[in-house]
């Protein structure tokens, strides 16, 4: 009997940059499951409907992805096993055989149209611009629009048969990166990727004490942690009856230590001893 395919969930639809990031990590040997929201990706992994998931974590222009951190507030939503950093590069796609001089309309999401404004003004000053729900939706629409082009990811040329890339890297600025987390249901779940040396981890921090006067400050928890924190994010703690009782997400980087896993275990024990609540959310 043939083994079931490895399923990777991502924020859809097909052809989005989340799909591109997932494809860059897992290639063509897995089955991709598109999800409507980031929360749906987490749910697909937690319920074992997907073996792994890829979710956006941070953009170099717009900062942290709030929905991802809101999902990480919950218990048992998955374990982070890796990351993908994707340089957002817009391409201009057309139906196969369409020439540059044939293009009368260019479709895309409004952000992509704005990010390519200079290129469009210089190369297609007479073309009309049409806003679409997503870059992938624009690519699909071009299939039935012979005089139109779409601004989207390069993956759309593979997803939508009949399209080809006319121009690559048409964005006005080349400093737009998105970082994605790769997650599985548990730390020991199968992941078809080569083993790598673990250099980072993510933990969730909060206080066990509801009394404000008795609750340790985040500075105390970080001091007890006593490790190199490369980034710190926070979201409201929804279950707490006390207002502004936040939950923090600390990403730690490995130093020269040869016992990284043991260092993390000892750090967690120190935080718990200081009155903090802590959970390991990922090692990669």
Domain extents for the chain? 7-88+176-184, 91-167, 200-283
Q: Which fold has domain 200-283?
A: Alpha-Beta Plaits (3.30.70)
Distance, CA of 243 to CA of 241 (rounded, Å): 6
Query: What pLDDT, on the 0 to 100 scale, is given for residue 175?
Result: 84
CATH code of the region 7-88+176-184: 3.40.190.10
Structure tokens at 261: 């896993």
Distance, CA of 115 to CA of 110 (rounded, Å): 9
Query: What pLDDT, on the 0 to 100 scale, is given for residue 210?
Result: 57
* All residues at 6 or more sequence positions from 9 whose CB lies less than 8 Å from its CB, including other chains: 32, 33, 34, 35, 40, 41, 44, 45, 49, 50, 52, 53, 54
DSSP 145: -
Query: What pLDDT, on the 0 to 100 scale, is given for residue 202?
Result: 97
Distance, CA of 182 to CA of 56 (rounded, Å): 9
Q: Which residues of the chain have pLDDT under 50?
A: 1-2
Structure tokens at 115: 């990010």
How many residues are given for the chain?
284
Q: Are strands 52-59 and 177-184 parallel, antiparallel or unpaired?
A: antiparallel
Give the closest residue to 136 by CA, choosing from 149, 151, 117: 151
CATH code of the region 91-167: 3.40.190.10
CB 183 within 8 A of CB 45: yes
CB 104 within 8 A of CB 130: no
Distance, CA of 31 to CA of 45 (rounded, Å): 14
Query: What pLDDT, on the 0 to 100 scale, is given for residue 2?
Result: 46
Query: What pLDDT, on the 0 to 100 scale, is given for residue 1?
Result: 38
Query: What pLDDT, on the 0 to 100 scale, is given for residue 92?
Result: 98
What's the start-to-end Cα distance of the chain, in Å?
A: 33
Model-level pTM? 0.81
Q: Do domains 7-88+176-184 and 200-283 have the same CATH topology?
A: no
Burial 164-201 (b: 16+ CB within 10 A, else e): eebbeebbeeeebebbbbbbbbeeeeebeeeeeeeebb
Distances from the Cα of 72 to the Cα of 30, 129, 151, 250, angstroms: 25, 38, 32, 12
Number of H helices, E strands in the chain: 9, 15
């Amino acid at each position: 009997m043939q083994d079931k395919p490895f399923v990777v969930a991502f924020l859809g639809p097909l052809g989005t940059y989340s799909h591109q990031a997932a494809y860059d990590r897992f290639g063509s040997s897995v089955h991709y499951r598109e999800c409507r929201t980031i929360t749906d990706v987490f749910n697909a992994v937690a319920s074992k409907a997907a073996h792994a998931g890829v979710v956006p974590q941070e953009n170099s222009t717009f900062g942290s992805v709030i929905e991802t951190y809101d999902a990480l507030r919950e218990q048992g939503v998955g374990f982070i096993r890796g990351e993908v950093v994707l340089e957002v590069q817009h391409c201009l796609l057309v139906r196969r055989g369409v020439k540059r001089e044939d293009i009368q309309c260019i479709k895309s999401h409004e952000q992509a149209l704005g990010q390519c404004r200079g290129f469009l003004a210089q190369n297609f000053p007479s073309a009309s611009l049409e806003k679409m729900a997503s870059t992938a939706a624009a690519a699909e629409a071009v299939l039935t629009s012979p005089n139109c082009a779409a601004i989207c990811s390069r993956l759309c040329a593979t997803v939508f048969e009949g399209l080809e890339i006319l121009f690559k890297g048409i964005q006005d600025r080349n400093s737009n990166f998105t970082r994605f987390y790769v997650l599985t249901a548990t730390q020991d779940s199968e992941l078809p990727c080569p083993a790598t040396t673990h250099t980072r981890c993510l933990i969730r921090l909060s206080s066990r004490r509801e009394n404000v006067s008795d609750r340790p400050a985040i500075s105390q928890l970080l001091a007890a942690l006593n490790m190199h924190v490369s980034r710190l994010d926070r979201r409201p703690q929804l279950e707490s009856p006390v207002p502004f009782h936040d939950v923090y997400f600390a990403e730690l980087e490995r130093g020269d230590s040869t016992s990284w896993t043991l260092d993390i275990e000892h750090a967690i024990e120190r935080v718990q001893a200081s009155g903090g609540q802590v959970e390991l959310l990922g090692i990669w």
